[in-house]
Amino acid sequence: MTVMTLTEQVRAPQAEDRVERERVVVIGGGPAGLAVAAVLKSKQIDALVLDRAASIGASWMAHYDRLHLHTVRWLSHLPGLRLPRGEGKWVARDAVVRYLQNYAEHHALRVRLATTATSVRREGSVWKVETNDGSVSADAVVIATGHNDEPVMPEWAGMAGFAGELQHSSAYRSGLPYAGKDVLVVGAGNSGAEIAVDLVEHHARNVWLSVRTPPNILRRDLAGLPTQAIGILVRKLPVSVVDKIAGVTQRLTVGDLSKYGMPRPERGVYTRVRHDDRIPILDVGLIGALKRGEIEVVPAVESFDGSEVVLLGGKCVVPEAVIAATGFRRHLQDLVGHLGVLDASGTPVFNGATTDPRHPDLYFLGYSNPLSGNLRELGIDARRIARAIDTRSTDRPN
């Protein structure tokens, strides 16, 4: 089959050019899927990438307007192509989209868009991937659909009768429509923190940030040194040691935010990364907004009552809009749940080049939250997976 151009990728494949047998199928055309396909291509293995979106980078384009990478540009590129220096130190959302599109074109990757993989199962010595447009057999499958596949909206009592606007953060684009309004942001992760800051910068009247579990907050860089670089240096140290280093750093550079309403975190930075799958907030304005009184921290949401939102402890706020930055689920159960490769939370038990002994040649990429930066680690794991697939291909009898 000939290499598809970006314009050809947009259409669904026709019956006459549908690929029925591949050496490798990659499910997911985001950074992880593109990275592993590019490294495989360098080893003369031309993988087929399947993605449900209509264009490369669509999931990134769907993020809010002010989004920038929280990892520094020179530590955030994928294998075989660097992010352009002209994109600055902290790369903007639209630049990431351009980069991903250029990346696929630069490596001449075969990306079949508008194609949703629905199940993966073993048939004899090969894997069969069922899609909305037929099935594809492959010697190896890499699943790289990412962390943020399906928005999670809590089911609060009374939410159906809420008089104001209620939406998940995945639908949020800009604080511009909320100028002069009272807004409650639920969730103190990086998205919730940045959306709250965006609302302040667009002159929302009151911004409340609802916090259930107090987050760890770090400066995005320290005297010009990106926090990500520090994460790379310490990531192999014991969890308790990293917690102590991060704790000292927080005290010196962030200070005590409890007097501004943000409770002290109960668990250390690396403990939360390793055991709770929660990375710290990398500050893009939250600390300053808290200290200036522009964002008020309030307890977790308990229920809705007409125009009021009832918080833990009984306090109520009356927002005109509620934005739920309450995360995503990986949504892998339908795809591979029957294989027994997911834990109770739906996360793959194996990630990177390590595979389940019961299911050889099935790989998962991009389902961890590394302290050293997601895009950087994707590239490292992509190389390991490609090496494993290449070795397996060499050993496999013709």
3-state secondary structure 129-183: EEEECEEEEEEEEEECCCCCCEECCCCCECHHHCCCEEEEHHHCCCCHHHCCCEE
Rounded to whole angstroms, how far apart are CA atoms 120 and 27? 10
User: What CATH number should be reported for the domain holding residue 159?
Assistant: 3.50.50.60
Of 73, 71, 79, nearest to 40 by C-alpha is 79
* Beta-strand relationship, 221-222 and 321-324: unpaired
Q: Is residue 175 part of a domain?
A: yes
Rounded to whole angstroms, how far apart are CA atoms 305 and 326? 20
Of 320, 288, 283, nearest to 204 by C-alpha is 320
CB 169 within 8 A of CB 187: yes
Tell me which of 292, 324, 356 is where a domain ends: 324
The predicted pLDDT at position 18 comes to 52
Identify whether residues 186 and 257 lie together within a single domain.
Answer: yes
Residue type, 336: V
| Cα–chain center distance at 38 | 20
CB 32 within 8 A of CB 365: yes
Identify whether residues 223 and 361 lie together within a single domain.
Answer: no
3-state helix, strand, coil in the chain (%, to 5): 35, 25, 45
CB 266 within 8 A of CB 203: no
Rounded to whole angstroms, how far apart are CA atoms 134 and 17? 12
Identify whether residues 272 and 249 lie together within a single domain.
Answer: yes
Cα-Cα-Cα-Cα torsion 323, 324, 328, 334, nearest 10 degrees, comes to -100
Q: Is residue 1 part of a domain?
A: no
CB 220 within 8 A of CB 73: no
Rounded to whole angstroms, how far apart are CA atoms 180 and 161? 23
Residue 25's DSSP bridge partners are 48, 141
Rounded to whole angstroms, how far apart are CA atoms 232 and 152? 30
The predicted pLDDT at position 20 comes to 66
The predicted pLDDT at position 218 comes to 93
Identify whether residues 366 and 349 lie together within a single domain.
Answer: yes
The predicted pLDDT at position 395 comes to 63
How many folded domains does the chain comprise? Answer: 2
* Beta-strand relationship, 48-50 and 21-27: parallel
Identify whether residues 286 and 234 lie together within a single domain.
Answer: yes
Rounded to whole angstroms, how far apart are CA atoms 64 and 192? 11
Identify whether residues 14 and 31 lie together within a single domain.
Answer: yes
User: Would you put residue 15 in left (φ > 0), alpha (ψ -120 to 50) or beta?
Assistant: alpha
Instruction: List, in sequence order, the alpha helices (H) in 165-318.
Output: 190-201, 227-234, 239-253, 269-276, 286-291
Identify whether residues 137 and 187 lie together within a single domain.
Answer: no
Identify whether residues 103 and 177 lie together within a single domain.
Answer: no
Rounded to whole angstroms, how far apart are CA atoms 75 and 395? 34
Residue 143's DSSP bridge partners are 27, 364
Stated pTM of the model:
0.89
User: How many residues does the structure list for the chain?
Assistant: 398
Rounded to whole angstroms, how far apart are CA atoms 248 and 75? 24
pLDDT in tens, the chain (398 residues): 334 444 344 444 444 445 469 999 999 999 999 999 999 999 999 999 999 999 999 999 999 999 999 999 999 999 999 999 999 999 999 999 999 999 999 999 999 999 999 999 999 889 999 999 899 999 999 999 987 778 899 999 999 999 999 999 999 999 999 999 999 999 999 999 999 999 999 999 999 999 999 999 999 988 888 888 888 888 889 999 999 999 999 999 999 999 999 999 989 999 998 888 888 999 999 999 999 999 999 999 999 999 999 999 999 999 999 999 998 888 899 999 999 999 988 889 999 999 999 999 999 999 888 888 889 999 999 999 999 999 987 666 55
Identify whether residues 169 and 138 lie together within a single domain.
Answer: no
Q: Which domain holds residue 250?
A: 152-324
Rounded to whole angstroms, how far apart are CA atoms 232 and 379? 14
